[in-house]
Amino acid sequence: MTGIGMVTPAGLTTDETWDSVLAGRPTAAADPALAGLPVELSCRAAEFDGDTVLGRRTAWRLDRCTQLALAAGWAAVADAGLDPGDWDGTRVGTILGTAFGGIGTWEREHRKLLELGAERISSLTVPMSLTNMMAGRLATDVKAGGPSFVTSSACASGATAIGTARELLRSGACDIVLAGGAESSLVHSVVAAFDRAGALSHYKDGPSKASRPFDTGRDGFVIAEASAVLVLERPEHAQARGARAYAYVSGYGASADAGHETRPDPEGLGAERAVCAALQDADSSPADVTHVNAHGTSTPLNDVAEGRMIRRVLGSHPVTSSVKGVTGHSLGAAGAVEAAITALSLKHQTVPMTAGLTHQDPAVDLDIVAGTSRPVTMETALSNSFGFGGQNAVLVLTRP
């Protein structure tokens, strides 16, 4: 992993996001765009302005989800010290994950259809709304002619994209892959639907306490938007150009609960298979894992199921945390954001605190970092991502 680009509620750059996560600054706030809904709270990247970052002529043709992906993608390329004008684009892939894609455009144009008639719908509705467009547009922008597509495995989408990118590198199909995820689905239909499913926090103690992974008072997640793109290279390619490495993506495992559509397996058995597959792929053992960046959604069911699984498979020694107390849950982008944070944890030898955690659920018998971030000597870390549909993706990251 030679480059990282992020746009999140915690910051418009990778450094800003990392600093906010380390400080444990929650980003949940009342969202005027959601006024009138039972839940009016989100973690929005409010300072991101597509017109400013991409230029108005470009931004107006793109859904906000794609705008976020392009901003993170270009930042990652720059961070890696790469110039698209110099590379062989046929050897560069673009694999991004998302859950909802351009649903913001779709909802806006559907409202026009109902209120103003068919002739008022934008002629760009389809290309702006298509789920694959973020990967297609990023490929166009950076002249990447290799494999380009979107993975969609709900909240595991970003991690699935990174794991898929790794396979393209291992197979020799690509020398470089831009991999990650983006999500911007802070719209009425999505937020109302998640609330009806009982998934969202009603933040009885105020927005700053709404997202509190592993806390006894948790009552649901806070929906967020974000993007993160990583530059992944074959080691020999990165070494030949003298590139710096944040981390190695040493293992990837995926599985399905094959159970309920929305509830995780109560013992985390599907997630366990993904963890074990990732460790086997990395030629690592549970004893090697020092840190787990947990999925940690702040929902009553997920946190207990994941906590039980981590304790059963890895024991009590890994230092565990969840960044969602700061960033909220960015759905299809979450796995990419958290893989980037895990890589930065390895680089800085520091595990971020779990914001919002003041009273740890006794059903989660783990060493969870709370109160302040913690220096930890570590070589191997896991990044867990689990999604509706029982879809699980786990990444093993190792220190260079």
Active site amino acids = 155, 295, 329
Exposure of 400 in the CB half-sphere (CA atoms within 13 A)? 14
Closest CA to 74 of 13, 145, 124: 13
Exposure of 159 in the CB half-sphere (CA atoms within 13 A)? 36
Closest CA to 179 of 97, 241, 245, 235: 97
Distances, alpha carbon 191 to alpha carbons 100, 221, 271, in Å: 12, 11, 26
101: alpha, beta or left, given left = phi > 0 and alpha = psi -120 to 50?
left
Ranges of beta strands (E only) in 136-198 are: 148-151, 176-183
Element (H or E) spanning 336, and its range?
Answer: helix 334-348
Cβ contact 6:74 at 8 Å:
no
The backbone torsions φ and ψ at residue 162, rounded to the nearest 5 degrees and listed phi first, read: -65, -45
Strand bridging mode 248-256 / 226-233: unpaired
The backbone torsions φ and ψ at residue 43, rounded to the nearest 5 degrees and listed phi first, read: -110, 95
What is the DSSP-derived secondary structure letter of residue 221? B
Amino acid at the residue 76: A
Ranges of beta strands (E only) in the chain are: 3-7, 29-30, 41-42, 92-97, 148-151, 176-183, 226-233, 248-256, 291-293, 319-321, 350-351, 367-368, 374-375, 380-387, 391-398
* DSSP of 2-37: -EEEEEBTTBSSHHHHHHHHHHT----EE-GGGTTS
Say if residue 300 is exposed, middle or buried (CB neighbours under 10 Å; 0-12, 13-18, 19+): middle
